[in-house]
Chain A
Amino acid sequence: MTTNPNPQSGSPDKEPASEAQAAQNALGNTERAETATLPGRPQPESEPKPSLGRMFLDNLWAANTFTVTLLSLVLAIVVGAVLMIISDPTVLSTYSYITSRPSDAINSSWTLVSEAYANLFKGSVFDPEAFSAWVNGTGGWQAVLAPISETLTYAAPLIFTGLSVALAFRGGLFNIGAQGQATIGVIMAALAGFLLPLPPGLHLLVAVLAGALGGAIWGFIPGILKARAGAHEVINTIMLNYVATYFLTWLIVQNGVQDPTRTDAISKAVDSSAQLPRLLGGDLRVHAGILLAVLATWAVAWLLNRSTLGFELRAVGANPDAARTAGISVTRTYILIMVFAGILAGLGGSNMVLGSTASALTPLVVAQIGFDGILVALLGRVKPWGVLLAALLFGALQAGGNRMQSYSGISLELVTVLQALIVIFIAAPALVKAIFQLRAARAARLQTSLAKGW
Chain B
Amino acid sequence: MEPGEIHALLGENGAGKSTLMNVLYGLYQPDEGEILVDGKPLKLKGPSDAIGAGIGMVHQHFMLVPVFTVTENIMLGAEQVRGGIAGFLDRRRARREVAEVSERYNLRVDPDAVIEDLPVGIQQRVEIVKALTRDVDLLILDEPTAVLTPQETEELLTVMRSLKAAGKSIVFITHKLGEVKAIADRITVIRRGKTVGTASPEASRDELAALMVGRNVRLTVDKAPATPGEPVLEVAGLVVDDDRQIRAVDGIDLTVRAGEVLGVAGVQGNGQTELIEAIMGLRPVLAGTVSLAGDRIDGWKPKKVLRAGVGYVPEDRSVDGLVKEFSVAENLVLDIYDRPPFGSGLALKPDAIAASAKERIEQFDVRTSSADTAVGTLSGGNQQKVIVARELSRPLKLFIAAQPTRGVDVGSIEFIHSQIIRERDIGTAVLVVSSELDEVIGLADRIAVMYRGRIIGIVGPDTPREEIGLLMAGISPDAAHEATAATGEGPANADGSASEDEA
Query: Across the interface, do B348 and A315 meet the contact criterion of CB distance under 8 Å?
Result: no
Contact across chains for A41 and B369 when beta carbons are under 8 A apart: yes
Interface residues on A, range: 20 to 34
Nearest neighbor of A42 in chain B, beta-carbon distance? B369
- Digit string of B311-343 for contact with A (CB within 8 Å is 1, else 0)? 010100001111111110010001101100001
Measured as residues with beta carbon below 8 angstroms from the partner, the interface class of chain B is 35 or more
Partner of A325 from B302, B337, B338, B369 at Cβ < 8 Å: B302
B377 CB contacts on chain A under 8 angstroms: 7, 10-11
B346: contacting residue among A10, A44, A309, CB under 8 A: A309
Residues of chain B with a CB closer than 8 A to A205's CB? none
Whether A99 is near chain B, meaning CB under 8 Å from some CB there, is: no
A322 and B321: CB pair below 8 A? yes
Q: Does residue B197 face the partner (Cβ distance < 8 Å to A)?
A: no
Whether the Cβ atoms of A325 and B314 lie closer than 8 Å is yes
B343 in complex: contacting residue of A308, A315, A325, CB < 8 Å:
A308
Which residues of A1-60 have CB atoms within 8 Å of chain B's CB atoms? 7-8, 10-11, 13-14, 17-18, 41-42, 44
- CA–CA, A41 and B368, complex, Å: 11
How far apart sit A41 and B373, CA to CA, in the bound complex (Å)?
11
**Which of B325, B345, B346, B348 contacts A11, CB < 8 Å?**
B325
**Given known contacts A307-B347, A315-B334, A322-B334, is B323 in contact with A41 (CB within 8 Å)?**
no
Given contacts A311-B330, A311-B348, A325-B314, contact A7 B369 (CB under 8 A): yes
- The residue in chain B whose Cβ has the minimal distance to the Cβ of A6 is B369
> Do A324 and B324 have beta carbons less than 8 Å apart?
no
Which residues, 306 to 322 on A, are CB-close (under 8 Å) to B? 306-312, 314-315, 318-319, 321-322
Q: Mask for A385-413, Cβ within 8 A of B = 1, else 0?
A: 00000000000000000000000000000
Chain A positions within 8 Å of B345 at CB level? 308
Residue on B with the closest CB to A327?
Answer: B303
Which residue of chain A has its CB nearest to the CB of B368? A7
| Cα of A92 to Cα of B372 in the assembled complex, Å | 56
Task: State whether A319 touches B323 (Cβ < 8 A).
Answer: yes
Determine which residue in B303, B304, B334, B350 has the highest number of CB atoms from chain A within 10 A of its CB, and name it: B334
B10 smallest CB distance to A (angstroms): 31
Chain B contacts of A322 at CB under 8 A?
319-323, 334
**Is B326 in contact with A314, judged by CB distance below 8 angstroms?**
yes
Q: Which residues of A contact B374 (CB under 8 A)?
A: 7, 10-11, 14
A177 vs B500: C-alpha distance when bound (angstroms): 37
Contact indicator A308/B337 (Cβ below 8 Å): yes
Across-interface contacts of A306 in B (CB, < 8 A): 347-348, 350
The verdict on B221 contacting chain A, using a C-beta distance below 8 Å, is no
Task: Give the most central of A14, A44, A323: most B CB within 10 Å.
Answer: A14
Q: Which B residues touch A206, using CB under 8 A?
A: none
By a beta-carbon cutoff of 8 Å, the part of chain B in contact with chain A is 280, 282, 301-307, 312, 314, 319-327, 330, 334-335, 337-338, 343, 345-348, 350, 354, 369-370, 372-374, 377
Q: Could you pull out 8 A-B pairs where Cβ atoms are within 8 angstroms?
A: A7-B373, A11-B374, A42-B369, A306-B347, A311-B330, A322-B323, A325-B321, A327-B305
Residues of A within 8 A of B (CB): 7-8, 10-11, 13-14, 17-18, 41-42, 44, 305-312, 314-315, 318-319, 321-329
Known: A308-B337, A321-B319, A322-B319. 8 other contacts (CB 8 A): A7-B377, A11-B374, A11-B377, A308-B347, A308-B348, A311-B330, A322-B323, A327-B335
